[in-house]
């Protein structure tokens, strides 16, 4: 479970070799939109060469491949990365149909990478539930820029135009215990706007937010880390459970049972991982 | 009333000129300065030999000095910082013992103690009155503080002010006129666009941002942000980013700093005007906002290099400095820092106030990328020592922090820290993991001069490149 | 056959130009030549050997690329060189 997914272009050595200094929980090395069509092979070769030499324990690495409708690109991407030590792939323009093709390809090639699907078409928003349910899917990532183009509307800070998509993704993901990852905020220098956008997504129930600039990671972590209050509450629950040696007790008048205690423990584990425990 | 000249020739007729004489300049007009060129060109035409030059710094536009060097009219240059064609000339053709690099505080000390013997100080002054009082804060060529020129005015045998804005009387001035001998009025002191360096902006480079974040976290963990603390940062993009983070901290925690010193920028001025710091002690304005502020904000004070950093001045401002943020071109395993040359004897700068502030500040911080492209910044041994390692306390990079083992107190304070604090050897190994180990550098060539620490001690030798 | 040009002159990258030649020749221009010239040459030789290429002139303009990047850029250049050579 990550709070931040940072996109890094796959064909820019300066960014690639610094991917571990930006403090993101997860990195998505991009072969798709940020790589020009005549640079695709360069991105594959650079990423291959880099990840064969350097390994990252603390960091979850993903690669955004080209979408499966571009068969040649997609298959060349997969051939280039299937032996790499990465956590999974990010699949653009996901739909049920696309997922079926990928599924068949993965079966044939014996590939087991988990998939984060980018929901960026109206059809995908409608299919979100079934996509989320798919066994290979680890999470859903909203791609609001492409989606609003298809909707014939424009992106605003208010984000009314993507409210339905956001909620649909959160419901679909949560229904199947998958990750719900919010769309990147594309105005790189607008830190105030980023804060508003991130806070809104966190409130809607997203577990993480993607970003296209390293300088956004700190703000994203601020809104997607367990809050001080939540940590304090979780600590009390765990402590009380230990003290009473019980998995079922009352605290401040509300009932605490095993799922609550497990959730509290999971929250503390995450808080520790993110360095926000104290 | 001082003698006023409107023509260079008329002025020069009154001056005593001789081979071997010492002349000084200041660098407050930076790359926009036309006067250093005007005067040095005149010395060239008059064919004066064995000149001893004392410019406080040399910028790429100072071609008059290059002409004197090429014509073999220069015996020595004593300065605090140089880059551009003059620096390149030294690296190629420098003669033995022809260059001495001082610190800002050391230069003031050497003027006061008679080591820098200057016959005529040519002091560019944006506004001058008929009594020889002068200010840098006003005029079409305003540069703000004239901090580095004050000792020249007090200790040179003859002092000439050069201005393009002569007024009847000045109420507020930085030079009191008592030691001024003559005033030269010219059409223009230079190009205003070059006076403001224009390079002072906060870094948005993600690696720089990470370094600044690490620095801010370290400063916080050390508990240095407390009411009445003092702070100095250079005008580098990373240093300024740290300054901005500290601004946010001061706001959030409702803390007021006592003073910021050194080179002043818009970012420092904003904090003064917001009440986050009580006083700015300004030895040098880096941008237009600083120049405007020094004219209107009483708590934005112009100070001399002597009051700023002279090590033998018990009242120097930086004696009370808590935090200084500095850069490095190279740093070695003993924490010696080089900002004077690159690894191959090209002269790229100099101490300025680096050694002064690192020595005096309670904690000195070096902020630098661990690698610049493939070049690891940590060396076994720096090519040139600008600041001795015993004065450098913390090295902060994007891939970890090293604390000078001499600072037991800091290490003790940080022993439970979550920050990525490792030995400097480990940091170097982290860099080499990416870059590979560099080949041995070329042997030193002909010595051309020395690096003098602020107290007059020679701490290193400068060499030619080829 | 036109020269094959791959890479960029951005910091930490390199621009590699391949042109046909009777034997292998290598020209390196690098901002870190004094410290890493030998290492750069070695990566180039190894990569050429790995791909069994003996008849090119390799011209590297290096802006501080790490070994992996030089290897990847050269590999890409060699692939393009081969496919161009096949076509002509």
Which chain C residues touch B438 with a CB distance below 8 Å?
Answer: 32, 35-36
Residues spanned by the domain of A8: 4-224
The pLDDT of residue B311: 98
Indicate if the pLDDT at residue C63 is higher than 90.
Answer: yes
Which chain B residues touch A8 with a CB distance below 8 Å?
Answer: none
Class of domain B4-195: alpha beta
DSSP type of residue B344: T
Given C37, C63, C66, which is nearest B435 (Cβ)? C66
What is the mean pLDDT of the segment spanning B442-456? 91
The pLDDT of residue C88: 66
B70 in contact with C at a CB cutoff of 8 Å? no
Q: Do B209 and A23 touch (CB under 8 A)?
A: no
How far off is chain C from B372, nearest CA to CA, in Å? Answer: 8
Predicted complex ipTM: 0.95
Q: Share the mean pLDDT of chain B.
A: 95
Give the 3-state secondary structure of residue B136.
coil
Q: For residue A250, is it within any domain?
A: yes
The pLDDT of residue B432: 97
Residues spanned by the domain of C75: 4-87
| Chain A residue closest in CA terms to C80 | A41
Which chain B residues touch A17 with a CB distance below 8 Å?
Answer: 434
Look at chain C and report how many structural domains it folds into: 1
Interface of C with B (CB under 8 A): 11-12, 31-32, 34-39, 63-67
Long-range contacts of C44-48 (CB under 8 A, 24+ apart): C44/C70, C44/C74, C46/C71, C47/C71, C47/C74, C47/C75, C47/C78, C48/C24, C48/C74, C48/C78
The pLDDT of residue C84: 85
The reply to whether A246 and A139 lie within a common domain is: no
Q: How far apart are CA B24 and CA B44, in angstroms?
A: 15
Indicate if the pLDDT at residue B197 is higher than 80.
Answer: no
Residue B323 banded pLDDT, cuts 50, 70, 90: very high
Could you report the per-residue pLDDT of B349-385, keeping only the tens digit for each? 999 999 999 999 999 999 999 999 999 999 999 999 9
The pair of three-digit structure tokens given for residue A26, joined into one six-digit string: 């997860």
Residue B199 banded pLDDT, cuts 50, 70, 90: low
The pLDDT of residue C7: 97
Here the CATH number for the domain that contains residue C17 is: 3.30.230.10
What is the mean pLDDT of the segment spanning B388-392? 98
The pLDDT of residue B315: 97
Which of C64, C72, C83 has the most A C-beta neighbours within 10 Å, making it the best mutation to test the interface with A? C72
Q: Within chain A, which residues score under 50 in pLDDT? A: none
Q: Choose among B214, A123, B435, B277: nearest CA to C66.
A: B435
Q: Choose among B350, B440, B365, B414: nearest CA to B102.
A: B350
Given A14, A42, A53, which is nearest C12 (Cβ)? A14
- The three-state DSSP-derived secondary structure of B20-43 is CCEEEECCCCHHHECHHHHHHHHH
Spell out a b/e string for C12-27, using b for 16 or more CB atoms within 10 Å of the CB, else e: bbbbbbbeeeeeeeee
The pLDDT of residue B195: 79
Could you report the per-residue pLDDT of B259-278, keeping only the tens digit for each? 999 999 999 999 999 999 99
Q: How far apart are CA A195 and CA A218, in angstroms?
A: 10
Same fold across B4-195 and B206-441? yes
The pair of three-digit structure tokens given for residue A217, joined into one six-digit string: 């990671």
* Helix or strand (DSSP H, E) at A203: helix A191-204
Here the CATH number for the domain that contains residue A116 is: 3.20.20.60
The pair of three-digit structure tokens given for residue B132, joined into one six-digit string: 């020889």
For C:16-55, CB contacts with A below 8 A are: none
Indicate if the pLDDT at residue B443 is higher than 70.
Answer: no
Q: What percent of chain B has pLDDT over 90?
A: 94
Given C38, C63, C67, which is nearest B373 (Cβ)? C63
**Comparison of pLDDT for C87 and C23, the residue scoring more:** C23
Q: A–B: how many Cβ contacts below 8 A?
A: 25
Q: Share the mean pLDDT of chain C.
A: 95
Q: How far apart are CA A221 and CA A274, in angstroms?
A: 9
Could you report the per-residue pLDDT of B91-107, keeping only the tens digit for each? 999 999 999 999 999 99
Classify domain B206-441 by CATH architecture.
Answer: 3-Layer(aba) Sandwich (3.40)
Given A13, A41, A50, which is nearest C76 (Cβ)? A41
* Helix or strand (DSSP H, E) at B446: none
The pair of three-digit structure tokens given for residue A43, joined into one six-digit string: 């991105």
Give the contacts of A274 (CB within 8 A, at least 6 positions apart).
A3, A25, A221, A225, A226
Look at chain A and report how many structural domains it folds into: 2
Q: Do B434 and A17 touch (CB under 8 A)?
A: yes
Which chain C residues touch A10 with a CB distance below 8 Å?
Answer: none
What is the mean pLDDT of the segment spanning B115-133? 97
The pLDDT of residue B198: 56
**CA-based R_g, chain C, Å:** 12
Q: Do C76 and A48 touch (CB under 8 A)?
A: no
The pLDDT of residue C38: 96
Domain range list for chain B: 4-195, 206-441
The reply to whether A195 and A178 lie within a common domain is: yes
């Amino acid at each position: 479970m990550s709070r931040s997914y940072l996109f890094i272009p796959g064909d820019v050595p300066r960014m690639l070799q610094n991917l571990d200094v930006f403090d993101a929980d997860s990195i998505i090395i991009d072969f798709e939109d940020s790589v020009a069509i005549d640079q695709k092979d360069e991105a594959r070769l650079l990423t291959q060469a880099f990840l064969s030499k350097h390994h990252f324990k603390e960091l979850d690495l993903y690669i955004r491949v080209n979408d499966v409708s571009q068969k040649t690109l997609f298959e060349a991407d997969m051939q280039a990365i299937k032996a790499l030590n990465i956590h999974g792939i990010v699949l653009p323009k996901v739909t049920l149909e696309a997922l079926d093709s990928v599924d068949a390809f993965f079966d044939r090639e014996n590939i087991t990478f988990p998939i984060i699907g980018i929901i960026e078409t109206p059809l995908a928003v409608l299919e979100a539930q079934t996509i989320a349910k798919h066994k290979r899917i680890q999470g859903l990532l909203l791609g609001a820029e492409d989606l609003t183009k298809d909707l014939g509307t424009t992106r605003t800070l208010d984000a009314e135009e993507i409210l339905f998509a956001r909620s649909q993704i959160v419901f679909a993901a949560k229904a199947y215990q998958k990750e719900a990852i919010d769309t990147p905020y594309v105005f790189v220098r607008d830190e105030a706007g980023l804060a508003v956008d991130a806070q809104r997504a966190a409130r809607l129930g997203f577990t993480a937010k993607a970003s296209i600039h390293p300088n956004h990671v700190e703000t994203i972590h601020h809104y997607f880390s367990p809050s001080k209050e939540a940590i304090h509450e979780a600590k009390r629950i765990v402590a009380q459970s230990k003290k009473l040696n019980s998995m079922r007790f009352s605290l401040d008048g509300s009932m605490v049972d095993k799922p609550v205690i497990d959730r509290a423990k999971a929250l503390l584990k995450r808080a520790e991982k993110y360095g926000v425990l104290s | 009333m001082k003698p006023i000249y409107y023509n260079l020739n008329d002025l020069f007729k009154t001056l005593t000129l001789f081979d071997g004489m010492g002349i000084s300049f200041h660098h407050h007009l930076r790359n926009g300065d036309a006067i250093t060129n005007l005067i040095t060109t005149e010395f060239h035409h008059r064919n004066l030999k064995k000149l001893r030059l004392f410019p406080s710094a040399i910028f790429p536009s100072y071609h008059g000095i290059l002409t004197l060097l090429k014509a073999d009219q220069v015996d020595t240059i004593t300065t605090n910082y140089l880059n551009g064609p003059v620096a390149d000339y030294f690296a190629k053709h420098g003669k033995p013992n022809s260059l001495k690099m001082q610190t800002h505080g050391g230069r003031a000390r050497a003027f006061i103690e008679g080591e820098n013997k200057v016959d005529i100080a040519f002091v560019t002054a944006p506004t001058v009155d008929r009594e020889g009082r002068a200010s840098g804060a006003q005029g079409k060529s305003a540069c703000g503080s004239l901090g580095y020129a004050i000792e020249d005015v007090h200790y040179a045998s003859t002092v000439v002010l050069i201005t393009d804005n002569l007024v009847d009387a000045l109420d507020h001035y930085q030079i009191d006129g008592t030691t001024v001998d003559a005033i030269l009025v010219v059409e223009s002191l230079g190009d205003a666009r070059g006076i403001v360096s224009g390079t002072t902006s906060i870094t948005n480079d993600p690696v720089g941002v990470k370094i600044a974040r690490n620095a801010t976290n370290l400063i916080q963990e050390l508990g240095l942000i407390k009411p009445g603390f003092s702070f100095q940062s250079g005008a580098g993009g990373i240093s300024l980013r740290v300054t901005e983070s500290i601004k946010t901290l001061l706001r959030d925690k409702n803390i007021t700093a006592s003073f910021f010193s050194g080179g002043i920028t818009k970012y420092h001025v904003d904090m003064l005007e917001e009440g986050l710091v009580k006083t700015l002690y300004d030895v040098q304005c880096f941008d237009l906002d600083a120049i405007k502020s020094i004219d209107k904000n009483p708590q934005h004070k112009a100070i001399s290099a002597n009051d700023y950093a002279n090590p033998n001045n018990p009242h120097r401002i930086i004696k009370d400095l808590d935090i200084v943020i500095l850069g490095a071109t190279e740093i070695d395993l003993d924490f010696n820092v080089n900002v004077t040359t690159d690894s191959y004897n090209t002269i790229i700068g100099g101490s300025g106030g680096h050694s002064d502030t690192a020595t005096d500040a309670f904690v000195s911080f070096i902020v630098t990328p661990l690698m610049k492209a493939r070049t690891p910044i940590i060396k076994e041994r720096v090519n040139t020592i600008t600041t001795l390692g015993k004065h450098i306390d913390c090295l902060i990079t994007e891939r970890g922090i090293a604390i000078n083992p001499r600072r037991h107190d800091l290490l003790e304070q940080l022993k439970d820290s979550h920050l990525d604090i490792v030995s400097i050897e480990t940091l170097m190994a982290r860099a080499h993991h990416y870059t590979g180990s560099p080949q041995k550098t070329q042997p030193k060539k002909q010595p051309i001069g020395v690096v003098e620490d602020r107290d007059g001690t020679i701490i290193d030798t400068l060499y030619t490149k080829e | 056959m036109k020269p094959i040009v791959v890479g960029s002159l951005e910091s930490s990258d390199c621009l590699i130009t391949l042109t046909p030649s009777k034997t292998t020749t290598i020209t390196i221009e690098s901002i870190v030549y004094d410290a890493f010239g030998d290492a750069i040459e070695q990566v180039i030789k190894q990569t050429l050997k790995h791909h069994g290429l003996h008849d090119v002139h390799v011209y590297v303009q290096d802006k501080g690329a790490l070994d992996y990047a030089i290897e990847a850029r050269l590999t890409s250049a060699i692939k393009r060189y081969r496919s161009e050579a096949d076509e002509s």
